Structure 1
Amino acid sequence: MTTLQQPDLSRPAQTTPSRWRLLSWQLLGLLLILGVWWLATDVLKLYPPYVFPSPKAVWTEIEYGLWGTGPQDGKLLAAIGGSLRRVLTGYAFAVVLGGVVGLLMGLWLPLRATLGAYLTGLQSIPSIAFVPFAILFFGLNERAVLFVVILEGFIPVALAVSGALLNVPPTLRVAGRTLGANGLGLLLRVLLPAALPNVLTGLRTAWSFAWRALVGGELLIAGAKSLGEQLEIGRNTANVALVLATILIIGIIGGVFDAFLRAAEGRMRRNYGLEVAQ
């Protein structure tokens, strides 16, 4: 007869790499990418500069666009400001509206069974598909872009809040009622605090959806100071370096905001005992 092998509790549990080690890996990966890029463009010259520019050419566009003098002359900096203003406005509306609707869906089954199903279906539609409707309804202006941003941010927040409330352990509900919390008190003191970690995950998803929807909508607004306009200028002038510089800036801004939300989510999960601090 075989016996079950007992786990060795004296050995420490395997842990994830530390934050600084992960950061060092990311920096090494970035240097590797830049090295391959430089090798392909400046050394091997696999493509003409007007097709695939070198890292130096892209950095020159960033330098001109942010603080230098030249063809762009600070236009990238103005574009960043315009895009951030739009996305933060739309994201704020999406969080408030999505939070209220998600709360109602989590508490009322008929609304969850109808509107929740519709929102799940709408979430599978790419944001660019809503742009023609927004232009026809609002016109070729900033309101059309804000509509797409709010819509793309609203859906993940509503679904995340509704799902987080439903995933609250029943034992917490019973404990709250046992201690005298009912109705609104149970919602504010028990259900919402228990749902916060999952809600923050939904806020991260909503940010990524809203940011991508913003850039897609801005491509169609002529004359507005935006990163989408810089992409369109680069396309019209065949300036691939400007296009790549704008793409890098879009990725950096999106990554910075996601890292901020990820840090807030991690801190919340550690406070709730769902993660172990490194």
Structure 2
Amino acid sequence: MTTLSPNLTQPAPGTPSRWKVLSWQLLGLALILAAWWLVTDVLKLYPGYVFPGPRAVWTEISYGLWGTGPQDGKLLGAIAGSLRRVLVGYVAAVLLGGVVGLLMGAWLPLRATVGAYLTGLQSVPSIAFVPFAILFFGLNERAVLFVVILEGFIPVALAVSGALLNVPPTLRIAGRTLGARGPALTWRVLLPASVPNLLTGLRTAWSFAWRALVGGELLIAGAKSLGEQLEVGRNTANVALVLATILIIGVIGGLFDALLRTVEARVRRDYGLEVAQ
């Protein structure tokens, strides 16, 4: 009697292909833009200075990215400044969170105390830490980096600790049987087995850090940042600039998240946790 084994290189029946999902997303974007254009430019339900249409927002984006006038090109500088801050804060958060997560995963008293505190802090919105950061560091870039590092550090530490604890007991037993103990067991067995869950934590930390960055940048006067562009749009009643900046923030955050998702999916396939599509 012949046993048919499932083909792990093929997706499960009914799973949409990657291109089909992309076509759905593009169709949804087209519908949103069409509805936006209909409400603002055709029906004119709101004045342009209250709710501008897609053309006005695109004009602000084009001027801000590749304009040549004295006031143009500022969005490009703002993007560069914000990316520099978030990358510095994110790397620091990953390093610090990784160390604390390893210690919590290896030592129960630390996990029961610090882990519980971090879980509680994670429920606090990042904007709530901004006043403390300003009072402690002053109204400067260090206050923003503090909020970014804090918001990225917490999910990384919890993800590392949780990933180590969720390693199947059989792998722990196998590692000890082969002679791995203490730090060797962690580095050679537990951490490699935890990589898929760790990547999920890194992606969550990125989204937290990116949101915290923009909220903190609203309070830095004169710095080149996307938060400053939002503040300029508010002060000048330029709703088109505000919407353009919001769109850019969303696109950048989405692109980085998509990159991390791609890496995560590749690792999960390599670990046999997902099938190729």
Both structures adopt the same fold (TM-score exceeding 0.5)? yes
How far did 1:71 drift?
7.1
Give the match for residue 266 of structure 1: 265
Name 2:48's counterpart in structure 1: 49
Give the aligned partner of residue 96 of structure 2.
97
Larger relative contact order, structure 1 or 2 (CA cutoff 8 Å, min sep 6): 2
Find out whether 1:219 has 2:218 as its counterpart: yes
Q: Helix, strand or coil: the match of 1:160? A: helix
Aligned to 2:243: 244
Correspondences of 1:59-70 after superposition (within 5 Å): 59-70=58-69
Deviations 1:210-246 (A, max 9, x none): 0000000000000000000000000000000000000
Per the alignment, residue 201 of structure 2 pairs with 202
**% of aligned pairs identical?**
85
1:25-44 → structure 2 map (5 Å cutoff): 25-44=24-43
Structure 1 residue 267: Cα displacement:
0.5
Q: Which piece of structure 1 moves more, 239-248 or 173-182?
A: 173-182
Rounded Cα–Cα distance in structure 1 between residues aligned with 2:74 and 2:111? 46
User: Is structure 2 residue 135 aligned with structure 1 residue 136?
Assistant: yes
Q: For the residues of structure 2 that align with 1:161 and 1:19, how far apart are their CA atoms?
A: 30
Who is 2:146 aligned against?
Answer: 147
Question: Deviation per CA, 1:20-55, whole angstroms, max 9, x where unpaired?
Answer: 111110000000000000000111001000000010
1:104 and 1:192 map into 2 onto residues whose CA distance is 13
Q: 2:3 matched to which residue of 1?
A: none
* SS of match in other structure, 1:125: coil
Which runs of 5 or more residues in structure 1 are unaligned? 1-8
- Asked if structure 2 preserves the Cα contact closer than 8 Å seen for 1:61 and 1:72, the reply is no
1:85 maps onto 2:103 in alignment? no
**In structure 2, how many angstroms separate the alpha carbons of the residues matched to 1:71 and 1:37?**
31
Distance in 2 (alpha carbons) for counterparts of 1:128 and 1:56: 32
Distance in 1 separating the partners of 2:178 and 2:161: 24
Summarize the Cα distance change of 1:138–1:23 in structure 2 as closer, same or farther, 3 Å threshold: same
Partners of 2:26 and 2:84 in 1: how far apart?
Answer: 30
Residue 148 of structure 1 aligns to which amino acid in structure 2?
Answer: V
In 2, the alpha carbon distance for the partners of 1:192 and 1:42 equals 55
Q: Is the 8 A contact 1:76 1:230 kept in 2?
A: yes
> TM-score scaled by structure 2?
0.95
Preserved contact between residue 149 and residue 213 of structure 1 (Cα < 8 Å)? yes
**1:180 to partner: Cα distance:** 1.9
Q: Name the aligned partner's letter for residue 219 of structure 1.
A: L
In 2, distance between residues paired with 1:76 and 1:206? 25
Which residue number in structure 2 is paired with residue 22 of structure 1?
A: 21
Higher mean displacement: 35-44 or 174-183: 174-183
1:70 shift after superposition: 4.6
The 2-side partners of 1:204 and 1:72 are apart by 35
Structure 1 distance, partners of 2:23, 2:127, is 36
Whichever residue aligns with residue 62 of structure 2, its letter is E
What is the rounded CA distance, in whole Å, between the counterparts of 1:175 and 1:128 in structure 2?
46
Matched residue type, 1:161: V
Q: 1:58, 1:242 within 8 Å by CA — same for their partners in 2?
A: yes
Give distance in 1, aligned partners of 2:245 and 2:69.
Answer: 16
Give the drift of 1:69.
3.2
Q: Give how far 1:176 is off.
A: 1.0
For 1:158 and 1:181, the matched residues in 2 are separated by 24
Counterpart in 2 of 1:112? 111
* Count, aligned residues: 268
- 1:179 CA displacement: 1.7
**CA RMSD, Structure 1 to Structure 2 (Å):** 1.2
**Per-residue deviation at 1:160?**
0.2
The correspondence of residues 172-211 of structure 1 with structure 2, limited to 5 A, is: 172-211=171-210
CA distance in 2, matches of 1:188, 1:15: 39
The separation in 1 between residues aligned to 2:184 and 2:105, in whole angstroms, is 16
Q: Which residue of 2 aligns with 1:3?
A: none
* Partner SS state of residue 151, structure 1: helix
Superposed displacement of residue 14, structure 1: 2.2
Q: Equivalents in 2 of 1:71, 1:134: separation in Å?
A: 34
Q: Which ranges of structure 2 fall in alignment gaps of 5 or more residues?
A: 1-5
- Relative to the length of structure 1, the TM-score reads 0.95
SS in 2 for 1:131: helix
| Partner deviation per Cα, 1:122-149 (whole Å, 9 max, x = no partner) | 0000000000000000000000000000
